[in-house]
Amino acid sequence: MTGAISIRRARPGDVPLVLELIRDLAEYEREPDAVVATEDLLHRHLFGSGSPAAECLIGEVDDRPQGFALFFSNFSTWVGWPGLYLEDLFVRPQARGRGLGKALLAAVARVGVERGCKRLDWSVLNWNEPAIGFYESLGARPLSQWTVYRLTGDALHRLAAPAR
């Protein structure tokens, strides 16, 4: 596969493709059964009425979808400016090494710069050496003094419950 790379915004009709790419990413990250997102949920949160929860770019090689970048806005209180958080960046194995990942990440960076964002953040699995090398080759640096925490399920609901 060699050819022209293009990046475009996802459209509502791309929701099945986006879900397929999410599942491909989950397979790569060794969590194929962890995806519980549905087309309806993705459509609602990417294209529903009101402000979308996230945005998505589709990366194509020779007009064939081969990857995606999904991101959303965040805000830095210390910097006092908005930023972007890259939730997912994925390129199908057959399309890797051709610059599509860099083109997708550059497109997200352009969105951020156009919006006046001062930073672009993301997480990477510790074992994903190819991704770590790729990110570091672009000038990204790990935040070694930070640990990501997450509340989900019962723990999230217990915390959110009104005090008695």
Whether residue 135 lies in the annotated active site: yes
**In a 3-state reduction of DSSP, which class is residue 55?**
strand
Specify the 3-state DSSP secondary structure of 85.
Answer: strand
Torsion angle, alpha carbons of 109, 58, 31, 83, to 10: 20
| CA pair distance 62, 135, nearest whole angstrom | 25
Residue of 28, 85, 135, 149 with catalytic role: 135
Distance CA 14, CA 109 (A): 22
Query: What are the structure tokens assigned to 88, written together?
Result: 């997912």
| Nearby residues of 92 by Cβ (< 8 Å), 6 or more positions away | 21, 24, 66, 67
Q: Looking at the annotation, which residues are catalytic? A: 135
